[in-house]
């Protein structure tokens, strides 16, 4: 029973990794919009970003989501093979 649960867990992590890689641009744009709204609401803590910084933040987050997704996929494949 434990082997089946571990296999299901690793497969779910593979799916999550693929989703992160596939939708990384959408996630990064939503994350950037969320953080920009917080920065505009509380400018004393952190000033709102310039348009160039928004674009750079979106690119950075897109690559971070892709990196995390690729890590999840690779780690889960290795875990499934060793299981």
pLDDT tens for the chain, residues 1 to 83:
578 888 899 999 999 999 999 999 999 999 999 999 999 999 888 888 888 999 999 999 999 999 999 999 999 999 888 87
Torsion-angle region of 49 (φ positive above 0: left; ψ -120 to 50: alpha; else: beta) = beta
Alpha-carbon distance values, 18 to 12, 28, 52, 67 (Å): 10, 15, 29, 11
Q: Which residues contact 12 (CB under 8 A, 6 or more apart)?
A: none
pTM score of the predicted model? 0.84
Core vs surface per residue 59-83: b (16+ CB within 10 A) or e: eebbeebbeebeebbeebeeeeeee
């Amino acid at each position: 029973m434990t082997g089946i649960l571990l296999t299901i867990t690793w497969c779910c992590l593979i799916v999550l990794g693929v989703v992160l890689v596939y939708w990384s641009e959408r996630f990064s744009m939503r994350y950037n919009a969320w953080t920009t709204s917080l920065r505009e609401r509380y400018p004393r803590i952190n000033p709102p970003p310039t348009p160039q910084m928004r674009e750079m933040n979106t690119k950075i987050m897109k690559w971070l989501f892709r990196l995390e997704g690729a890590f999840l996929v690779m780690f889960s494949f290795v875990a499934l093979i060793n299981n």
